[in-house]
Amino acid sequence: MHGIANKYPELYEQRQHVGKFYFRPPGGESWCDVILRLRSVLDTITREYRGERVLIVGHKVIVNCLRYLLERCDEHAILAIDKAADVPNCGVTLYAFNPALGGHGKLQLDLCNFVAPLEAAGTPVTAQPDMPAAPKS
């Protein structure tokens, strides 16, 4: 954030004002924008693949925004989850259907940031955050 504050002070100030959840960088999306797209994805998965296993591959924001939706978090809860732990590269977050939850059953978090297969294979788990490939215009 310090580099952004120095290079783009007006964007840094805007992000400080609206917060991480609502900030939309130029040419990018806010977490709210991502959540809106993911609602559509989940609707399609529910309609087309009900009862089947589904694999979704994504980066940190996708994982956290899906958690927001599936666990019915609010803004403060998901930002606390985000702050508590990074989503490791190749980490697995797994939900299992629990028919005892709610009126018709719900998905329940089973694993979060699971990296044991990588560790068992001797593969180092990357702890470095992603670096931008190119500047955004």
Distance from C-alpha of 68 to C-alpha of 62, rounded to nearest angstrom: 10
Most confident residue range from 34-38, 86-90, 120-124: 34-38
pLDDT of residue 117: 81
pLDDT of residue 6: 84
Closest residue by Cα to residue 89 from 121, 122, 129, 55 = 129
pLDDT of residue 4: 78
Distance from C-alpha of 113 to C-alpha of 94, rounded to nearest angstrom: 9
Most confident residue range from 8-12, 71-75, 133-137: 71-75
Residue 129 pLDDT class (50, 70, 90 cuts)? low
pLDDT of residue 66: 97
CA dihedral (117, 123, 127, 132) in degrees, to 10, reads -110
pLDDT of residue 137: 45
Mean pLDDT of all residues in the chain?
A: 89
Q: Which residue has the higher pLDDT, 132 or 122?
A: 122
Residue 118 pLDDT class (50, 70, 90 cuts)? confident
Q: Is the pTM of this model over 0.85?
A: no
Q: Which residue has the higher pLDDT, 119 or 18?
A: 18
H/E element, 80: helix 75-84
pLDDT at 13 over 50: yes
